[in-house]
Amino acid sequence: MEECIFCKIVRGEIPSCKVHEDERVFVFEDINPLADGHTLIIPKNHAATIWEITEEDLLAVHSTSKRLAEAMHQALDATDVACVQLNGKGVNQIVPHYHLHLIPRIKGAPEIDLTKWELKPGDMDRIQEIGDKLSAAMKA
């Protein structure tokens, strides 16, 4: 995709703090980090969301996340890591090129706001009804 900012990063047309690349994925630092070490993993092939990415690229991105989390553990002394991935404007995806955020919490660093949501018990009938709909759709 000509105008996609992450495709431009993959092609080296705009600079990035590259961490790693292989034939399928590109890994680089987020320039608006939620915490030290906030890193993005993207497929080299353009795909906007989880609905468009191929299974091979999805696998490559997510298996790279395991290696990156290991590196965060070892190199940054990260005790904990949040993996976050947004699909669509309605959930505030800003860059329409699939990307997985890995946000480490380094020993002694403050809590990451994004990970603190309040637990409020839901309506069990509604929860069951929605679960059944999804279950049926996954069998189809």
Catalytic residues: 99
Residue among 26, 28, 46, 103 that touches Zn ion (CB under 5 A): 46
Q: Please provide the DSSP assignment of 55-124 as one string.
A: HHHHHHHHHHHHHHHHHHHHHH-EEEEEEE---SGGGT--SSS--EEEEEEETTPPPPGGG--------H
Q: In angstroms, what is the minimal distance from the CB of 29 to Zn ion? A: 18
Q: Which 4-43 residues touch Zn ion, going by CB under 5 A?
A: 4, 6-7
Please tell me the count of residues contacting ligand AMP according to CB under 6 A.
10
Give yes or no for residue 92 binding ligand AMP (CB under 6 A): yes
Contacts with ligand AMP by CB under 6 A lie at: 5, 16, 30-32, 86, 92-95
